[in-house]
Amino acid sequence: MTPETLSATHARAFAGQGRGWSAAEFAALLDSPHTFVVGDARAFALGRAIADEAELLTLATDPGQRRAGLGRACLAGFEAEAKARGAVRGFLEVAADNAAARALYAAARWRECARRAGYYPRAGGIAVDALILEKHLG
C-alpha cells in the first residue's frame, strides 16, 4: 500500500478523533526496515519490531468496513509478522474512551500495563488517558 492510501484510510477511520496521519508521515515511517504494514485499503495495521519487542503504531478500519472482522484480522497479522521478526512482546496504546478498540484488544488477550494520564486531547479542553497494553507474543 502506498503512503497516500494509508493516509486516506487513516483519515476516514479517525475522523472526529483528531487528525489523521499524513502521507508524508506514513512514508517516513515506512522508510525504516523495522516498520511493516499488514492489511489493505479497507483496514490495516502498521507496526515496528526492534530486537525482541514490537509496537503497534496504528490500526485503522474504514468506517464502511467495520464489524466485518478486518480489524481482528489485521491485529492477528500484526502479531504474526512481529513474531516472525523476532518479537516476543508487543505493545500498543489506546485511548481510554475507545470502547470498540479496547474490546478488540481485550478479546485478543492484550492487557493494560501502564497509563498516560490526559494524553489524548478531546473537544472542550478535556483529555483522555492513554492505556498502554502489552501481550506476550512468543
- Catalytic residue list: 93, 105
Q: With b meaning 16 or more CB within 10 Å and e meaning fewer, what string describes 92-108? A: bbbbbebeebbebbeeb
Taking Cα atoms as reference points, which of 64, 133, 62 lies closest to residue 104? 133
* Helices H / strands E in the chain, number of each: 4, 6
Taking Cα atoms as reference points, which of 71, 116, 69, 64 lies closest to residue 93? 116
